[in-house]
Amino acid sequence: MIIRFQFLKTILPLLMVLVLWQQALAQTGDPRPSEAASEEGRLYSSSDLDKRYDMVINNPGVQIEATEAINLLYNYQFDEADIEFRWLRYRYPDHPMPRFLLGLAEWWKIVPNTDIEKYDDTFLAHMDSTIILAERLLDAGKYKVEPAFFLSAAYAFKGRLYSERKKWTKAAFAGKKALKYFELCKGNGDLSPELLFGDGLYNYYAEWIPKEYPILKPVLALFPKGNKKLGQQQLQKVANNAFYTRVEARYFLLQIYSMENEYNQAYELAKYMWQTYPNNPYFERYFCRTAFVTGKAAEATQAAENILSKIERGMPGYEGVSGRNAAYVLGYYNMGYYKNYDLASKYYQQAIDFSLQTKSTNAGYYLSSLIGMGKIAEIRKDYDAALRYYKLADDRADKKSGQDRDAKKAIENLKKIKREQRRSSRRNR
């Protein structure tokens, strides 16, 4: 309980800081540069543009170059994106933006499975470089907003990683530092959909957190009240109208739609994001999951097969978390729809193996796969094996959860079958 409370305390400053690091992203790149920016890029050389714009992040030439790189990043083409980011670093060696983008690439390598720590050191090194360069820019220049954006963003990302690693003191320190630079940014920028992004995040989560974690109500009383409905509407406006932050808004909307049980909206958005970035494991995983939940069997099956194929080929970001999702979907369809118990057993076992590999034995896909294996064993009249699967699911499931009830019910039914078998055996002697 203490650790959980420390984690939730960390969420509060990081929640406010999300406003800043997303605004920092808002200044660095989007899949589609505006026609005006493209026109200026054609009319002026890079050096001309550099002279005309006081802030690098407002330079349309830089926006165009960063746009291409960020597209590659979201599609998990990290090597190609890295070339573009390093070119920006060469062109602007004293500016924090290229270092921040290099760190952002490392962060998206972490996103599919936050338990993987091999990217942590490189990520933190890039964010530390961002901080050093941004501090120099802040001290030396008359324009405070640009370096403050990057300082807030870098500290917020560091805090987010530290909270994932349960390094609560470091997370809280990073959040506090980010809030310090948040103050320098307040009141700057035009009232565009880009800046509405932070408001949307805050409004949604400021109401969501105390409802999910009532223990935090006294702490949240010190902050402005949130409004989930308004926050969701604001994020939808950003997702539809913003130039820079639309992808990040959609990333959060996917999670919000799922939390609010708005599965049809989650499906439509996940499908669009997967179609736009077909090699992004996070978006493809969400597409598979939402297609499954909304009963679109053909699409869920194809997505699941794609995911397992990409895991087998070793594509970036495709690993056990996505694998257990995909394997369970295929196991479920083969058992329930096609009555192909051999294939169902194969996929359920894959889901179990992926869950063990990712140390996720309390995950729903793991538990449901165990119950599925038990049902198949029961169909085959291998009651001892069935009982082992059900008992394992019962042991691992949270009490009063759906899987716990299913496992207990299956165990009771199986015990009745075995009692009837014993009675029948005695009568036939």
Q: What is the pLDDT of residue 172?
A: 81
Q: Considering Cα of 152, then 154, then 157, then 161, what sign does the dihedral take?
A: negative
195 band by pLDDT with thresholds 50, 70 and 90: low
Where is pLDDT greater, at 424 or 417? 417
Does 329 have pLDDT greater than 50?
yes
pLDDT (tens digit, 9 = 90+) per residue, 82-133? 999 999 899 889 999 899 999 999 999 999 999 999 999 999 999 999 999 9
d(Cα 150, Cα 145) in Å, to the nearest integer? 9
- Lookup: tokens for 235: 């994020």
Q: What is the pLDDT of residue 5?
A: 37
Q: What is the pLDDT of residue 203?
A: 83
Does 8 have pLDDT greater than 60?
no
Tell me the chain's radius of gyration from C-alpha atoms: 25
220 band by pLDDT with thresholds 50, 70 and 90: low
pTM of the predicted model as reported, rounded to 2 decimal places: 0.83
pLDDT (tens digit, 9 = 90+) per residue, 10-60? 444 445 444 333 333 333 333 333 333 333 333 434 554 444 445 666 666
pLDDT (tens digit, 9 = 90+) per residue, 231-257? 999 899 989 987 566 777 898 899 999
Task: Let me know: does 334 contact 348? Beta carbons within 8 Å.
Answer: no
Sequence-distant (≥ 6) Cβ neighbours of residue 80 within 8 angstroms: 72
